[in-house]
């Protein structure tokens, strides 16, 4: 290999080593790697930043906006409540999540699927008291498993299919042809995750870690007429799964039901008094059919979907000190409604309007987004803090969000529009139809993930242009000799290795012509080797940089680089074994 190739390999594996043994931010590590390759003359400035203009990277960014629309309308939460249920164990949670996601990912692109489910699965994990790290990698892997089962499951399948027609001059794959090998691989992968995650998948960020030294609020919620929770028990409604939340009592037409049991049924007009931490109160606000019991929320100027939640601490010289919320006319004075009150961990057993406010009380306010700007210098409050992700869902627009997502999937699957174009159109429609505001759209984009993916593209480009990837592939293919089955094993291994270090599509593009030349020189049919490339390029589990969905769950799961290596490497080997055993049985090597 030329010196540039050796230098590229050194930088690449140094980055991987740093990510594996340290907790340095992966975006900074990969950007440093790209900078070294730029300074070393391996990459031109255009090549170094090409990842930021890459269609796949921009597609991921746009899909975050689509996911925000689904989240802000409560569309995904509603599906998860019905589909995922209330598992009692981590294994049960993984089963309930992975099986539907695997099935769905066979018929839609992996990236939008994970983007849509990611925030909702994170919230669901919190409600079930499960560490997110037990579910985030399984979410990504489930999408990858399903992607190997149909032609449109992942972009890699389409890339290889295009190469079959353009370079190999062979008929393309039929819609379900890859399922002959994809389904056995998916079943083996699911079985591995269910068995091995107990020991190999760490609990990096315990879901209940947020409960240390909680600020406890008292909040009263009203069950609306026609609510989907009407007639359900407390347990069935999911009101006992929110961590850090306690149902103090139910006020039913003046009759108080203290410490109601899980089998107590809910009826329209019930006033539910909860005590809990900020995050759980926010979760209550997102449940369809539950609204704050104070009638003041209906008197605010802005519609509920245009409001947010803010924490405010009462100052000693505030005009509200010594007055009840009702007597002080809080809503009229500040154009904000007190949803809950926290006082030094003390549980306040009064209705919100009857609570006499004191200096130092922390209020959870429902108000418009402009409240912070108007009151930031107010002497009435010691502290103002917006609650992240506390926008009130516009449930009535949930069907619009689902319609937009379905249109995105159908249009992209049928090839009417490129995925990026379809995603951009869907994101625009989410904003136009007010499923997602422009400010929420901007906040929804995980720029750290975008930087990681773009930097990974830069490093992959360096491996390609320096000749390192081609040299490695040629060397490994030479090991296959004249044996058709050994050639199949090596082609899968080479593709798998390149997928983990560059990107899945680039790996397929690099290995395809080499494999075609090798099989042609031996007079062998090429279809088995094309299938091996297709599966190996999609089955990326051992590093977060090989596949976009792995990177998307990196932060929310609180993972380290080594977590992917420890949990994903055995899975890579299992998929390798299953594929090279199944492929010859379906597509003969001679």
For residue 166, being part of any structural domain is answered with yes
3-state secondary structure 419-453: HHHHHHHHHHHHHHCCCCCHHHHHHHCCHHHHHHH
Whether residues 146 and 245 share a domain: the answer is: no
User: pLDDT value at position 273?
Assistant: 83
Element (H, E) at 256: strand 255-258
For residue 224, being part of any structural domain is answered with yes
Looking at residue 328, what DSSP letter applies?
A: T
For residue 194, being part of any structural domain is answered with yes
How many angstroms separate the Cα of 545 from the Cα of each of 26, 295, 342, 378, 494?
Answer: 10, 51, 43, 47, 17
CA proximity to 251, closest of 291, 222, 288, 210: 222
Q: Which of 361, 386, 411 marks a domain boundary?
A: 386
User: pLDDT value at position 241?
Assistant: 65
Pairing of strands 362-368, 307-314: antiparallel
Element (H, E) at 384: strand 381-386
Whether residues 68 and 156 share a domain: the answer is: yes
Pairing of strands 217-223, 290-292: antiparallel
CB distance 163 to 512 below 8 Å: yes
For residue 421, being part of any structural domain is answered with no
CB proximity list for 564: less than 8 A, separation 6 or greater = 137, 541, 542, 543, 544, 550
CA proximity to 70, closest of 100, 107, 36, 114: 114
Whether residues 335 and 481 share a domain: the answer is: no
Strand partners, 365: 310, 338
User: pLDDT value at position 208?
Assistant: 40
Whether residues 104 and 187 share a domain: the answer is: yes
Q: How many helices (H) and strands (E) does the chain have?
A: 23, 9
Q: Which two tokens stand for residue 458?
A: 């830069």
Measured CA to CA, the distance from residue 96 to residue 93 in angstroms comes to: 5
User: pLDDT value at position 536?
Assistant: 94
The label of the residue with tokens 């925000």 reads 68
Q: Which two tokens stand for residue 108?
A: 């839609």
Residue numbers of the chain with a pLDDT score lower than 50:
206-213
For residue 431, being part of any structural domain is answered with no
Q: Which of 386, 402, 429 marks a domain boundary?
A: 386
Whether residues 453 and 483 share a domain: the answer is: yes
The label of the residue with tokens 């089963």 reads 95
Whether residues 12 and 128 share a domain: the answer is: yes
For residue 493, being part of any structural domain is answered with yes
CA 384 to chain centre: 29
For residue 391, being part of any structural domain is answered with no
Phi, psi of 534 (to 5 degrees): -60, -50
CB distance 575 to 535 below 8 Å: yes
Domain residues for 178?
Answer: 3-204+447-586
Whether residues 235 and 118 share a domain: the answer is: no
CB distance 553 to 448 below 8 Å: no
Element (H, E) at 367: strand 362-368
The angle formed by the CA atoms of residues 157, 116 and 94, to the nearest 5 degrees, is 85
Whether residues 180 and 149 share a domain: the answer is: yes
Q: Which of 360, 386, 412 marks a domain boundary?
A: 386
Measured CA to CA, the distance from residue 580 to residue 573 in angstroms comes to: 11
CATH of the domain at 260: 3.30.70.1450
Domains in the chain, number: 2
CA 470 to chain centre: 33
For residue 397, being part of any structural domain is answered with no
User: pLDDT value at position 212?
Assistant: 44
CA proximity to 312, closest of 288, 287, 278: 278
Whether residues 361 and 297 share a domain: the answer is: yes
How many angstroms separate the Cα of 5 from the Cα of each of 459, 468, 528?
Answer: 12, 5, 31
pTM: 0.67
Looking at residue 346, what DSSP letter applies?
A: B
Burial class (CB in 10 A: 0-12, 13-18, 19+), 315: middle
DSSP string, 204-245: -S-TTGGGSS---EEEEEEE-TT-TTTT-BTTTTTTT-STTE
User: pLDDT value at position 503?
Assistant: 65
User: pLDDT value at position 382?
Assistant: 77
Sign of the dihedral defined by the CA atoms of residues 402, 403, 408, 411, in that order: positive
Measured CA to CA, the distance from residue 399 to residue 408 in angstroms comes to: 14
Whether residues 16 and 145 share a domain: the answer is: yes
Whether residues 160 and 35 share a domain: the answer is: yes
Whether residues 231 and 183 share a domain: the answer is: no
């Amino acid at each position: 290999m030329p010196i540039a190739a050796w230098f590229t390999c050194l930088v690449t594996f140094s980055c991987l080593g740093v990510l594996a043994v340290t907790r340095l931010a992966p975006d900074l590590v990969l950007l440093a790697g790209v900078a070294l390759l730029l300074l070393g003359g391996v990459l031109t400035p255009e090549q170094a930043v090409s990842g930021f203009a890459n269609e796949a990277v921009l597609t991921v960014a746009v899909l975050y906006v689509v996911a925000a629309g689904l989240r802000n309308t409560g569309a995904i939460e509603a599906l998860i409540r019905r589909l995922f249920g209330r598992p009692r164990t981590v294994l049960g949670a993984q089963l309930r999540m992975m099986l539907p996601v695997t099935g769905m990912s066979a018929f839609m692109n992996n990236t939008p699927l994970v983007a849509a489910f990611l925030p909702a699965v994170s919230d669901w994990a919190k409600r079930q008291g499960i560490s997110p790290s037990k579910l985030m990698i399984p979410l990504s892997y489930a999408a990858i498993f399903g992607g190997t089962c149909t032609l449109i499951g992942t972009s890699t399948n389409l890339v290889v299919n295009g190469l079959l027609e353009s370079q190999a001059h062979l008929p393309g794959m039929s819609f379900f042809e890859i399922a002959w090998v994809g389904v056995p691989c998916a079943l083996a992968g699911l079985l591995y995750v269910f068995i091995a995650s107990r020991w190999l998948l760490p609990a990096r960020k315990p879901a209940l870690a947020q409960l240390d030294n909680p600020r406890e609020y008292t909040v009263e919620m009203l069950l609306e007429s026609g609510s989907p929770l009407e007639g359900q028990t407390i347990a069935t409604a999911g009101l006992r799964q929110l961590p850090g939340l306690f149902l103090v009592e139910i006020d039913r037409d003046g009759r108080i039901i203290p410490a109601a049991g899980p089998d107590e049924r809910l009826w329209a007009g019930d006033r539910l008094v909860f005590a809990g931490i900020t995050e759980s109160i926010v979760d209550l606000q997102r449940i369809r059919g539950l609204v704050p019991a104070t009638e003041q929320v209906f008197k605010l100027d802005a519609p509920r979907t245009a409001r947010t939640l803010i924490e405010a601490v009462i100052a000693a010289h505030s005009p509200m000190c010594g007055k009840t919320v009702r007597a002080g006319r809080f809503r009229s004075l500040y154009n904000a409604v007190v949803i809950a009150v926290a006082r030094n961990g003390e549980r306040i057993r009064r209705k919100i309007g009857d609570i006499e406010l004191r200096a130092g009380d922390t209020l959870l306010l429902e108000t418009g987004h402009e409240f912070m700007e108007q009151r930031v210098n107010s002497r009435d409050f010691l502290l103002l803090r917006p609650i992240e992700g506390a926008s009130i869902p516009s449930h009535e627009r949930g069907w619009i969000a689902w319609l937009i997502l379905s249109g995105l999937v159908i249009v992209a699957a049928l090839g009417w529009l490129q995925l990026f174009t379809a995603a951009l159109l869907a994101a625009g429609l989410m904003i136009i139809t007010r499923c997602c505001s422009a400010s929420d759209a901007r906040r929804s984009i995980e720029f750290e993930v975008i930087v990681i993916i773009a930097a990974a593209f830069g490093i992959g480009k360096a491996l390609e242009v320096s000749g390192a990837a081609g040299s490695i592939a040629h060397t490994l293919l030479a090991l296959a000799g004249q044996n058709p089955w050994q050639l199949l094993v090596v082609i899968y291994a080479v593709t798998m290795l390149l997928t983990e270090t560059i990107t899945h599509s680039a790996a397929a593009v690099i290995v395809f012509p080499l494999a075609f030349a090798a099989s042609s020189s031996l007079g062998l049919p090429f279809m088995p080797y094309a299938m091996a490339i297709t599966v190996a390029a999609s089955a990326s589990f051992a590093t977060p940089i090989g596949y976009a969905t792995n990177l998307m769950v990196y932060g929310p799961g609180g993972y380290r680089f080594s977590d992917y290596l420890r949990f994903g490497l055995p899975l890579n080997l299992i998929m390798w074994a299953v594929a090279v055993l199944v492929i010859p049985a379906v597509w003969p090597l001679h």
